[in-house]
Amino acid sequence: MSAEATTLTKAATARPEPAAPRATRRRRLGPGRAIPYGRAIGPLLLLAVWSAGSAAGFIDARNLSAPWTVVSTAGDLIAEGRLQSNLATSAERALLGLLFGTAAGVLLAIAAGLSRIGEGVIDGPVQIKRAIPSLALIPLLILWFGIGESMKVITIALGVFVPVYIHTHNGLRTIDGRYAELAETVGLSRTGFVRHVVLPGALPGFLLGMRFAVTAAWLSLVVVEQVNATSGIGYMMELARTYGQTDIIIVGLVVYGLLGLVSDALVRLVERKTLSWRRTLAG
């Protein structure tokens, strides 16, 4: 060790201040690491406030039944088999509507996204339809299709197809044009282009549309079941209103909420599995 180095070391130890300036830690701008089960925090907090309010007597049971009353009512409804049969009817309507609406939305989006004629013919009417809430069409749909199942499924499908169309079409249109060039240079056919470039490229948009679509399906379901139905969760709630059974209404609401949450989680799961190639803030 040289003499100079020794002096330097001495000088450093002599001073009490930090010898070397610490590297400045930058503030992280991304959201950071995911909290395990982080999505459950909000709903659990809500449940806690509700329970506390009911137990302390702040919430009148005639306005909002206590969580435990709702649970026991749900137990009774399940024991009687009413909840299951109504849920099955509701789920069937929602699924059928979702199926038809999604199929229509995707097919129209592809037709409008891949050809100028398709865009000219399809895009305008869809934008007009978008401006009219599906639920406002119910009177007309009842006149056309009666009050049976087909009217309900069609109403749901109409609510579903718009977000699927809008987001899939947007996804298609924002695919980088350079990928089309690449497809030409590697000699992809039209179908190969759709399969390898268009569909996977539009998938993020489609899945976003699906998340809106799932919500739209449940929303439309609630309305059609309360308008004119003799079965389903909405009918069960409407009947409970007549007899002032708040707890049954809450059971219905909780079921709707759970259905919405579960279906959204399903779409998110599919999103995570199929879009694992993306490197985004979501991680």
Partner 1 sequence: MATHTGGLTHARLADEGPAVRIEGLVRSFGDREILAGLELDIAAGEFVALLGRSGSGKSTLLRALAGLDHEVAGSGHLSAPADVSVVFQDARLLPWKRVLDNVVLGLTGPGARDRGRAALDEVGLAGREDAWPADLSGGEQQRVSLARSLVREPRLLLADEPFGALDALTRIRMHALLRRLCEAHRPAVLLVTHDVDEAIALADRVVVLDEGRIAADVRVDLPAPRGQGTQRYAALRAGLLRQLGVDQDGGAPVRADDVVTPVGG
Q: Which residues bind partner 1 (CB under 8 A)?
A: 178-179, 181-188, 192, 196-197, 200-201, 203, 275-279
In angstroms, rounded to a whole number, what is the distance separating the alpha carbons of residues 69 and 214? 29
Answer for the pair 159, 219: CB distance below 8 angstroms, yes or no. yes
Q: Which is nearer to partner 1, 193 or 218 (CB)?
A: 193
Q: CB nearer to partner 1: give 2 or 276.
A: 276
Considering the complex, state which of residue 202 and residue 233 has its C-beta at the smaller distance from partner 1: 202
Specify the residue, 133 or 200, whose C-beta has the smaller distance to partner 1. 200
Q: How far is the CB of 271 from partner 1 (least distance, A)?
A: 13
For residue 271, give the amino acid letter. E
Q: What are phi and psi of 45, to 5 degrees?
A: -60, -45
Q: How far from 173 is each of 109, 128, 190, 201, 263, CA to CA, in Å? A: 10, 20, 16, 10, 27
Q: Which two tokens stand for residue 120?
A: 């000219």
Chain-centre distance for alpha carbon 12 = 60
Nearest distance, CB of residue 163 and partner 1, angstroms: 22
Closest CB 31 distance from partner 1, rounded Å: 19
How many angstroms separate the CA atoms of 213 and 100, rounded?
12
User: What is the spatial distance between Cα 258 and Cα 156, in angstroms, rounded to a whole number?
Assistant: 19
Residue number with CB closer to partner 1 (182 or 227): 182
Least distance in angstroms from the C-beta of 30 to partner 1: 16
Burial of 138: CB neighbours in 10 Å, binned 0-12, 13-18, 19+? buried
